[in-house]
């Protein structure tokens, strides 16, 4: 881990696109400001962990879920029936 010391008003750059600004230091709390491209996600650690956990739960597919979805799948031997209209056209 890289450890840096910065004062209020100073900036740290990460690569070409990300800036971290020290906004305020009060007691044991530091306020930081971030400038980054929209596609870069920036989260507090506790929020990041909640998102990661939710993604893991969403990605888990159980056999019950697959069985329930199978009820909606068309059967392998099913063919589409096309009704003939009085004018000779189909559809």
Strand order in the sheet with 18-26: 11-14, 18-26, 29-35
Q: What is the pLDDT of residue 74?
A: 79
Lowest-confidence range among 14-23, 67-76, 81-90? 81-90
Distance CA 11, CA 33 (A): 9
Where does the pLDDT of residue 77 fall: very low under 50, low under 70, confident under 90, or very high at 90 and above? low
Which distant-in-sequence residues (6+ apart) come within 8 Å of 48 by Cβ?
none
Mean pLDDT across the chain, nearest whole number? 85
Distance CA 89, CA 65 (A): 41
Mean pLDDT of 63-85: 69
Structural domain boundaries in the chain? 11-63
- For the cut 60, the answer to whether the pLDDT of residue 45 exceeds it is yes
- 13-29 pLDDT, tens digit each: 999 999 999 999 999 99
């Amino acid at each position: 881990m890289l450890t840096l010391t910065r004062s209020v008003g100073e900036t740290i750059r990460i690569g070409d696109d990300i800036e971290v600004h020290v906004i305020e230091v009060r007691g044991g709390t530091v306020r930081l400001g971030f400038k980054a491209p929209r596609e870069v996600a920036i989260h507090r650690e506790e929020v990041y962990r909640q998102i990661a956990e939710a993604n893991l739960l969403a990605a888990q597919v159980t056999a019950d879920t697959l069985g329930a979805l199978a009820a909606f799948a068309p059967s392998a031997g099913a063919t589409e029936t096309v009704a003939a209209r009085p004018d000779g056209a189909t559809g």
